[in-house]
């Protein structure tokens, strides 16, 4: 039914739950898949987080940062059958980047994690809401189990 699935994950234990569900779906639908991780543009947080250590005149190497994230993402995704050529890291707002990537690869399904309405989880839940509203394709919210 679905031919191209975009899996949006955090690099965390919760990412594992989403990847596990996505793996089953991808196999069942014999779909192609891309795994995406979105994070804030490092230029906006790097100086304030690392400035004191690295010096404010530190020249931030975006490509090195992206590569290290890609490596972590590939390592996390590989046990679930997603090879390193199917992972992507984007910088910016989560909703915008996920929706843009879905359009870019012509995804017919976006899979992401969803939380309940409690504390920090509300914030995370708003990602699912935003994607739900703006995506032009189906969206599956995988319920993250509290660990």
Q: Which is nearer to a copy of itself, 87 or 135 (CB)?
A: 135
Q: Which of 43, 75, 84, 133 binds a copy of itself (CB under 8 A)?
A: 133
What is the SS3 string spanning 87-128? EEEEECCHHHHHHHHHHHCCCCEEEEEECCCCCHHHHHHHHH
Decide if residue 140 touches a copy of itself (CB under 8 A).
yes
Closest CA to 83 of 93, 92, 73, 95: 73
Closest CA to 142 of 23, 3, 11, 2: 23
Decide if residue 3 touches a copy of itself (CB under 8 A).
no
Backbone Cα Rg of the chain:
16
Q: How far is the CB of 4 from a copy of itself (least distance, A)?
A: 14
Q: How far is the CB of 14 from a copy of itself (least distance, A)?
A: 14
Decide if residue 127 touches a copy of itself (CB under 8 A).
no
Decide if residue 49 touches a copy of itself (CB under 8 A).
no
Site string (8-37) toward a copy of itself, x via CB under 8 A: -------------x--xx--xx--------
Give the residue carrying structure tokens 């793996």.
23
Structure tokens at 39: 């994070």
Q: Which residue ranges make up the site for a copy of itself (CB under 8 A)? A: 1, 21, 24-25, 28-29, 114, 116-117, 125, 128-129, 132-143
């Amino acid at each position: 039914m679905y031919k191209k699935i975009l899996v949006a994950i955090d690099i965390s234990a919760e990412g594992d739950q989403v990847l596990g569900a996505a793996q089953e779906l991808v196999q069942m639908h014999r779909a192609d898949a891309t795994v995406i991780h979105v994070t804030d543009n490092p230029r906006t947080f790097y100086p304030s987080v690392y400035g004191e250590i690295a010096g404010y005149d530190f020249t931030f190497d975006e490509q090195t940062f992206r590569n290290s994230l890609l490596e972590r993402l590939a390592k996390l995704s590989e046990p679930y059958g997603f090879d390193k050529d199917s992972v992507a890291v984007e910088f910016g707002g989560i909703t915008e980047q996920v929706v843009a990537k879905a359009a870019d690869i012509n995804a017919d399904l976006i899979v992401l994690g969803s939380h309940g309405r409690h504390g920090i989880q509300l914030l995370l839940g708003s990602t699912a809401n935003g994607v739900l509203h703006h995506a032009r394709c189906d969206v599956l919210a995988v319920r993250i189990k509290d660990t």
